[in-house]
Amino acid sequence: MALDGRILRRAMDRLEEDRRNRETHTAELRQQLYARDPFLAGLDTQIRSAAAEILDVALRRGEDPVAAMEQLQEQNLHMQEERRSRILRLGYPENCLDDLPVCPRCGDRGYVGREPCDCLMRLYREEQRRELSKLLDLQGESFASFQLKYYDDMKDPDTGISPRQHMHLVLMACRRYAETFDGKGSNLFLSGGPGLGKTFLSACIASAVSEKGWSVVYETAVNLCARYEAIRFSNRGDPEEAEQDVRRYLQCDLLILDDLGMERENAFTVSVIYEVINARLRSGKSTVISSNLSVEEVSSRYNAQIASRLAGEYENLKFYGRDIRRLKKEE
Ligand SMILES: [Zn+2]
Protein backbone atom coordinates (compact mmCIF):
# COMPACT_ATOMS: atom_id res chain seq x y z
CA MET A 1 0.00 0.00 0.00
CA ALA A 2 1.59 3.26 -1.12
CA LEU A 3 0.55 6.01 1.25
CA ASP A 4 0.47 9.54 -0.09
CA GLY A 5 3.13 11.48 1.87
CA ARG A 6 1.32 14.79 1.73
CA ILE A 7 -1.95 13.32 2.99
CA LEU A 8 -0.17 11.23 5.61
CA ARG A 9 1.47 14.39 6.97
CA ARG A 10 -1.91 16.05 7.27
CA ALA A 11 -3.25 13.01 9.14
CA MET A 12 -0.23 13.10 11.52
CA ASP A 13 -0.76 16.83 12.11
CA ARG A 14 -4.36 16.17 13.05
CA LEU A 15 -3.38 13.38 15.43
CA GLU A 16 -0.90 15.74 17.10
CA GLU A 17 -3.45 18.56 17.23
CA ASP A 18 -6.07 16.27 18.80
CA ARG A 19 -3.54 15.25 21.45
CA ARG A 20 -2.64 18.87 22.25
CA ASN A 21 -6.32 19.83 22.45
CA ARG A 22 -6.96 17.03 24.92
CA GLU A 23 -3.97 18.08 27.04
CA THR A 24 -5.21 21.68 27.09
CA HIS A 25 -8.67 20.48 28.00
CA THR A 26 -7.32 18.32 30.87
CA ALA A 27 -5.18 21.19 32.15
CA GLU A 28 -8.22 23.48 32.21
CA LEU A 29 -10.34 20.88 33.93
CA ARG A 30 -7.57 20.36 36.47
CA GLN A 31 -7.56 24.07 37.34
CA GLN A 32 -11.37 24.05 37.69
CA LEU A 33 -11.35 21.05 40.03
CA TYR A 34 -8.46 22.48 42.07
CA ALA A 35 -10.43 25.70 42.47
CA ARG A 36 -13.45 23.78 43.73
CA ASP A 37 -11.40 21.50 45.98
CA PRO A 38 -8.02 23.03 46.90
CA PHE A 39 -7.17 19.92 48.92
CA LEU A 40 -7.05 18.00 45.63
CA ALA A 41 -4.25 20.24 44.35
CA GLY A 42 -2.20 19.48 47.48
CA LEU A 43 -2.88 15.77 47.06
CA ASP A 44 -1.60 15.79 43.48
CA THR A 45 1.62 17.50 44.59
CA GLN A 46 2.10 14.96 47.39
CA ILE A 47 1.43 12.01 45.08
CA ARG A 48 4.03 13.30 42.65
CA SER A 49 6.67 13.78 45.34
CA ALA A 50 5.85 10.37 46.86
CA ALA A 51 6.50 8.75 43.48
CA ALA A 52 9.87 10.53 43.31
CA GLU A 53 10.65 9.44 46.87
CA ILE A 54 9.85 5.79 46.12
CA LEU A 55 12.24 5.92 43.21
CA ASP A 56 14.86 7.61 45.33
CA VAL A 57 14.61 4.93 48.07
CA ALA A 58 14.78 2.15 45.51
CA LEU A 59 17.96 3.59 44.07
CA ARG A 60 19.62 4.26 47.44
CA ARG A 61 22.48 1.92 48.17
CA GLY A 62 23.84 0.42 51.31
CA GLU A 63 20.57 -0.13 53.16
CA ASP A 64 17.59 -2.41 52.78
CA PRO A 65 15.00 -0.33 50.89
CA VAL A 66 12.13 -2.83 51.13
CA ALA A 67 10.55 -1.74 54.40
CA ALA A 68 10.80 1.97 53.56
CA MET A 69 9.36 1.40 50.12
CA GLU A 70 6.45 -0.63 51.42
CA GLN A 71 5.55 2.14 53.81
CA LEU A 72 5.74 4.79 51.11
CA GLN A 73 3.68 2.70 48.71
CA GLU A 74 1.03 2.18 51.35
CA GLN A 75 0.88 5.92 51.91
CA ASN A 76 0.70 6.54 48.19
CA LEU A 77 -2.19 4.11 47.71
CA HIS A 78 -4.04 5.85 50.49
CA MET A 79 -3.57 9.24 48.80
CA GLN A 80 -4.65 7.83 45.42
CA GLU A 81 -7.81 6.51 47.02
CA GLU A 82 -8.54 9.88 48.63
CA ARG A 83 -7.95 11.62 45.30
CA ARG A 84 -10.29 9.25 43.46
CA SER A 85 -13.14 9.77 45.89
CA ARG A 86 -12.72 13.56 45.82
CA ILE A 87 -12.87 13.67 42.02
CA LEU A 88 -15.96 11.42 42.04
CA ARG A 89 -17.56 13.68 44.64
CA LEU A 90 -17.08 16.63 42.26
CA GLY A 91 -19.10 14.67 39.72
CA TYR A 92 -16.32 13.58 37.34
CA PRO A 93 -14.96 10.18 36.27
CA GLU A 94 -12.06 9.14 38.49
CA ASN A 95 -9.49 9.15 35.66
CA CYS A 96 -10.56 12.47 34.09
CA LEU A 97 -7.24 14.17 35.00
CA ASP A 98 -4.92 11.35 33.98
CA ASP A 99 -4.22 12.27 30.32
CA LEU A 100 -4.77 8.71 29.15
CA PRO A 101 -4.16 8.09 25.44
CA VAL A 102 -7.30 7.75 23.32
CA CYS A 103 -5.66 4.94 21.36
CA PRO A 104 -4.14 2.40 23.75
CA ARG A 105 -2.64 0.51 20.81
CA CYS A 106 -0.16 3.22 19.80
CA GLY A 107 -0.41 5.63 22.77
CA ASP A 108 -1.55 8.31 20.27
CA ARG A 109 1.78 8.22 18.48
CA GLY A 110 0.17 7.04 15.23
CA TYR A 111 2.57 4.16 14.70
CA VAL A 112 3.04 0.69 16.13
CA GLY A 113 6.65 -0.01 15.29
CA ARG A 114 6.90 1.00 11.65
CA GLU A 115 3.26 0.23 10.88
CA PRO A 116 0.72 3.06 10.81
CA CYS A 117 -1.87 2.46 13.53
CA ASP A 118 -5.60 2.12 12.78
CA CYS A 119 -6.25 5.48 14.43
CA LEU A 120 -3.84 7.20 12.01
CA MET A 121 -5.30 5.33 9.03
CA ARG A 122 -8.78 6.51 9.98
CA LEU A 123 -7.59 10.13 9.79
CA TYR A 124 -5.68 9.32 6.59
CA ARG A 125 -8.87 8.05 4.94
CA GLU A 126 -10.76 11.18 6.06
CA GLU A 127 -8.05 13.46 4.66
CA GLN A 128 -7.93 11.56 1.39
CA ARG A 129 -11.69 11.81 1.10
CA ARG A 130 -11.50 15.56 1.72
CA GLU A 131 -8.85 15.85 -1.00
CA LEU A 132 -10.93 13.84 -3.49
CA SER A 133 -14.07 15.79 -2.57
CA LYS A 134 -12.46 18.97 -3.87
CA LEU A 135 -12.71 17.47 -7.35
CA LEU A 136 -15.51 14.94 -7.15
CA ASP A 137 -18.91 14.92 -5.53
CA LEU A 138 -18.47 12.04 -3.11
CA GLN A 139 -21.56 12.84 -1.08
CA GLY A 140 -24.37 11.63 -3.32
CA GLU A 141 -22.28 9.39 -5.53
CA SER A 142 -22.35 5.74 -4.62
CA PHE A 143 -22.97 2.59 -6.62
CA ALA A 144 -26.36 2.30 -4.92
CA SER A 145 -27.46 5.73 -6.17
CA PHE A 146 -26.55 5.08 -9.81
CA GLN A 147 -29.85 5.54 -11.68
CA LEU A 148 -30.35 2.94 -14.39
CA LYS A 149 -33.79 4.43 -15.17
CA TYR A 150 -32.14 7.15 -17.27
CA TYR A 151 -30.90 4.58 -19.76
CA ASP A 152 -33.16 3.39 -22.55
CA ASP A 153 -34.81 0.01 -22.08
CA MET A 154 -35.40 -0.56 -25.82
CA LYS A 155 -33.46 -3.54 -27.15
CA ASP A 156 -30.94 -2.81 -29.85
CA PRO A 157 -31.98 -4.98 -32.85
CA ASP A 158 -28.32 -5.74 -33.65
CA THR A 159 -27.10 -6.74 -30.20
CA GLY A 160 -30.41 -7.83 -28.66
CA ILE A 161 -29.67 -5.91 -25.48
CA SER A 162 -30.87 -2.50 -24.31
CA PRO A 163 -28.64 0.36 -23.12
CA ARG A 164 -30.13 -0.14 -19.65
CA GLN A 165 -29.19 -3.84 -19.56
CA HIS A 166 -25.77 -2.97 -20.90
CA MET A 167 -25.22 -0.23 -18.32
CA HIS A 168 -26.29 -2.62 -15.58
CA LEU A 169 -23.35 -4.83 -16.61
CA VAL A 170 -21.02 -1.79 -16.65
CA LEU A 171 -22.21 -0.80 -13.16
CA MET A 172 -21.59 -4.35 -11.89
CA ALA A 173 -18.11 -4.39 -13.44
CA CYS A 174 -17.17 -1.05 -11.78
CA ARG A 175 -18.54 -2.25 -8.48
CA ARG A 176 -16.65 -5.53 -8.69
CA TYR A 177 -13.48 -3.61 -9.59
CA ALA A 178 -13.78 -1.42 -6.47
CA GLU A 179 -14.77 -4.26 -4.15
CA THR A 180 -11.97 -6.59 -5.22
CA PHE A 181 -9.31 -3.87 -5.56
CA ASP A 182 -6.02 -5.27 -4.29
CA GLY A 183 -3.47 -2.76 -5.62
CA LYS A 184 -2.06 -5.32 -8.04
CA GLY A 185 -2.48 -3.38 -11.25
CA SER A 186 -5.91 -3.99 -12.68
CA ASN A 187 -7.10 -1.27 -15.04
CA LEU A 188 -10.34 0.04 -16.50
CA PHE A 189 -10.97 2.05 -19.63
CA LEU A 190 -14.39 3.74 -19.50
CA SER A 191 -15.40 5.09 -22.87
CA GLY A 192 -18.50 6.72 -24.30
CA GLY A 193 -20.10 10.08 -25.03
CA PRO A 194 -20.43 12.90 -22.49
CA GLY A 195 -23.08 12.75 -19.77
CA LEU A 196 -23.32 8.96 -19.59
CA GLY A 197 -22.04 8.57 -16.04
CA LYS A 198 -18.32 7.91 -16.52
CA THR A 199 -17.21 10.52 -13.99
CA PHE A 200 -20.00 9.43 -11.64
CA LEU A 201 -18.82 5.82 -11.64
CA SER A 202 -15.17 6.97 -11.39
CA ALA A 203 -16.13 8.87 -8.24
CA CYS A 204 -17.85 5.76 -6.84
CA ILE A 205 -14.70 3.72 -7.48
CA ALA A 206 -12.48 6.45 -5.96
CA SER A 207 -14.67 6.60 -2.89
CA ALA A 208 -14.89 2.83 -2.31
CA VAL A 209 -11.18 2.15 -2.93
CA SER A 210 -9.95 5.06 -0.79
CA GLU A 211 -12.35 3.97 1.95
CA LYS A 212 -10.31 0.76 2.21
CA GLY A 213 -7.14 2.79 2.83
CA TRP A 214 -5.56 2.69 -0.65
CA SER A 215 -4.13 5.96 -1.93
CA VAL A 216 -6.27 7.32 -4.74
CA VAL A 217 -5.52 10.32 -6.93
CA TYR A 218 -8.13 11.78 -9.25
CA GLU A 219 -7.01 14.08 -12.04
CA THR A 220 -8.26 15.25 -15.41
CA ALA A 221 -6.01 14.72 -18.43
CA VAL A 222 -5.98 18.51 -18.92
CA ASN A 223 -4.59 19.15 -15.42
CA LEU A 224 -2.19 16.22 -15.53
CA CYS A 225 -0.61 17.49 -18.75
CA ALA A 226 -0.47 21.02 -17.30
CA ARG A 227 1.57 19.72 -14.34
CA TYR A 228 4.07 18.07 -16.68
CA GLU A 229 4.25 21.29 -18.69
CA ALA A 230 5.07 23.22 -15.50
CA ILE A 231 8.14 21.00 -15.04
CA ARG A 232 9.20 21.06 -18.67
CA PHE A 233 8.60 24.72 -19.58
CA SER A 234 9.24 27.87 -17.56
CA ASN A 235 6.37 30.27 -16.74
CA ARG A 236 3.83 27.44 -16.54
CA GLY A 237 3.67 27.24 -12.73
CA ASP A 238 5.84 26.19 -9.81
CA PRO A 239 7.98 23.27 -11.02
CA GLU A 240 8.60 21.96 -7.49
CA GLU A 241 4.90 21.74 -6.69
CA ALA A 242 4.30 20.18 -10.08
CA GLU A 243 6.96 17.54 -9.38
CA GLN A 244 5.18 16.63 -6.15
CA ASP A 245 1.94 16.16 -8.07
CA VAL A 246 3.64 14.05 -10.73
CA ARG A 247 5.09 11.83 -8.01
CA ARG A 248 1.57 11.35 -6.68
CA TYR A 249 0.31 10.44 -10.17
CA LEU A 250 2.98 7.80 -10.53
CA GLN A 251 3.08 6.40 -7.00
CA CYS A 252 -0.54 6.26 -5.84
CA ASP A 253 -2.25 2.87 -5.67
CA LEU A 254 -5.04 4.02 -7.99
CA LEU A 255 -4.89 6.86 -10.48
CA ILE A 256 -8.19 7.99 -11.95
CA LEU A 257 -7.46 9.86 -15.14
CA ASP A 258 -10.62 11.58 -16.28
CA ASP A 259 -11.50 13.00 -19.70
CA LEU A 260 -8.62 11.64 -21.73
CA GLY A 261 -8.65 13.47 -25.05
CA MET A 262 -9.73 16.85 -23.66
CA GLU A 263 -6.14 18.04 -23.24
CA ARG A 264 -4.41 20.10 -25.92
CA GLU A 265 -3.30 17.93 -28.79
CA ASN A 266 0.44 18.05 -29.43
CA ALA A 267 3.54 15.84 -29.36
CA PHE A 268 4.28 16.80 -25.75
CA THR A 269 0.88 15.82 -24.33
CA VAL A 270 0.92 12.57 -26.32
CA SER A 271 4.30 11.68 -24.80
CA VAL A 272 3.03 12.59 -21.30
CA ILE A 273 -0.02 10.34 -21.60
CA TYR A 274 2.11 7.52 -22.98
CA GLU A 275 4.65 7.95 -20.16
CA VAL A 276 2.00 7.90 -17.42
CA ILE A 277 0.16 4.86 -18.80
CA ASN A 278 3.41 2.96 -19.34
CA ALA A 279 5.07 3.89 -16.05
CA ARG A 280 2.03 2.71 -14.11
CA LEU A 281 1.84 -0.55 -16.06
CA ARG A 282 5.56 -1.13 -15.47
CA SER A 283 5.27 -0.63 -11.72
CA GLY A 284 2.13 -2.77 -11.53
CA LYS A 285 -0.12 0.08 -10.36
CA SER A 286 -3.80 0.37 -11.17
CA THR A 287 -5.32 3.05 -13.38
CA VAL A 288 -8.87 3.94 -14.36
CA ILE A 289 -9.11 6.07 -17.51
CA SER A 290 -12.28 7.64 -18.81
CA SER A 291 -12.65 9.16 -22.24
CA ASN A 292 -15.14 10.29 -24.85
CA LEU A 293 -12.89 8.48 -27.34
CA SER A 294 -13.08 4.81 -28.25
CA VAL A 295 -9.90 2.70 -28.42
CA GLU A 296 -9.93 3.14 -32.22
CA GLU A 297 -10.17 6.92 -31.85
CA VAL A 298 -7.34 6.85 -29.28
CA SER A 299 -5.25 5.06 -31.86
CA SER A 300 -5.69 7.82 -34.45
CA ARG A 301 -5.47 10.75 -31.99
CA TYR A 302 -2.45 9.44 -30.07
CA ASN A 303 -0.64 6.42 -31.43
CA ALA A 304 -0.98 2.67 -31.86
CA GLN A 305 1.13 1.95 -28.75
CA ILE A 306 -1.25 3.78 -26.39
CA ALA A 307 -4.26 2.15 -28.08
CA SER A 308 -2.69 -1.30 -27.75
CA ARG A 309 -2.02 -0.75 -24.02
CA LEU A 310 -5.67 0.23 -23.54
CA ALA A 311 -6.91 -2.72 -25.59
CA GLY A 312 -4.57 -5.27 -24.02
CA GLU A 313 -4.04 -4.22 -20.40
CA TYR A 314 -7.31 -2.49 -19.59
CA GLU A 315 -10.78 -3.91 -19.12
CA ASN A 316 -12.83 -1.94 -21.64
CA LEU A 317 -16.24 -0.72 -20.54
CA LYS A 318 -18.36 1.10 -23.11
CA PHE A 319 -21.04 3.50 -21.91
CA TYR A 320 -24.23 3.68 -23.98
CA GLY A 321 -27.34 5.84 -23.89
CA ARG A 322 -28.43 9.44 -24.10
CA ASP A 323 -26.86 12.37 -22.20
CA ILE A 324 -28.16 11.93 -18.64
CA ARG A 325 -27.36 15.47 -17.58
CA ARG A 326 -29.73 16.69 -20.28
CA LEU A 327 -32.42 14.13 -19.37
CA LYS A 328 -32.24 15.20 -15.71
CA LYS A 329 -32.74 18.85 -16.67
CA GLU A 330 -35.83 17.93 -18.67
CA GLU A 331 -37.45 16.18 -15.71
ZN1 LIG B 1 -3.36 4.32 17.43
Residue 232 shares a structural domain with residue 276: yes
Q: What is the pLDDT of residues 143-169, one digit of tens each?
A: 888 888 888 888 888 888 898 999 999
Residue 42 shares a structural domain with residue 148: no
Asked whether residue 123 is domain-assigned, the answer is no
Q: What strands lie across the sheet with 254-260, from one edge to the other?
A: 216-220, 254-260, 286-291, 187-191, 314-318
Q: How far is the CA of 42 from the centre of ligand 1 (A)?
A: 34
Q: What is the pLDDT of residues 203-232, one digit of tens each?
A: 999 989 988 889 999 999 999 999 999 998
Mean pLDDT of the chain: 89
How wide is the angle at C-alpha 290 spanned by C-alphas 289 and 292, nearest 5°?
A: 140
pLDDT at 297: 93
In the chain, the amino acid numbered 73 is Q
Q: How far is the CA of 109 from the centre of ligand 1 (A)?
A: 7
Q: How far is the CA of 178 from the centre of ligand 1 (A)?
A: 27
Q: Is the full-model pTM beyond 0.85?
A: no
Residue 152 is part of which domain span? 135-330
Q: How far is the CA of 318 from the centre of ligand 1 (A)?
A: 43
pLDDT at 240: 86
Q: How far is the CA of 122 from the centre of ligand 1 (A)?
A: 9
Residue 162 shares a structural domain with residue 268: yes
pLDDT at 64: 67
- Choosing from 70, 95, 111, the residue where a domain stops is 111
Residue 188 shares a structural domain with residue 62: no
Looking at the 3D structure of the chain, how many domains does it have?
2
Q: How far is the CA of 203 from the centre of ligand 1 (A)?
A: 29
Q: Is the dihedral of CA 221, 223, 227, 230 positive or negative?
A: positive
Give the C-alpha separation, 203 to 185, whole Å: 19
Asked whether residue 252 is domain-assigned, the answer is yes
pLDDT at 234: 79
pLDDT at 148: 87
Asked whether residue 105 is domain-assigned, the answer is yes
* Angle in degrees, 0-180, between the axes of helices 267-282 and 304-313, rounded to the nearest 10: 30
Counting as low any pLDDT under 50, the low residues of the chain are: none
Q: How far is the CA of 6 from the centre of ligand 1 (A)?
A: 19
pLDDT at 62: 59
Q: How far is the CA of 112 from the centre of ligand 1 (A)?
A: 7
pLDDT at 266: 93
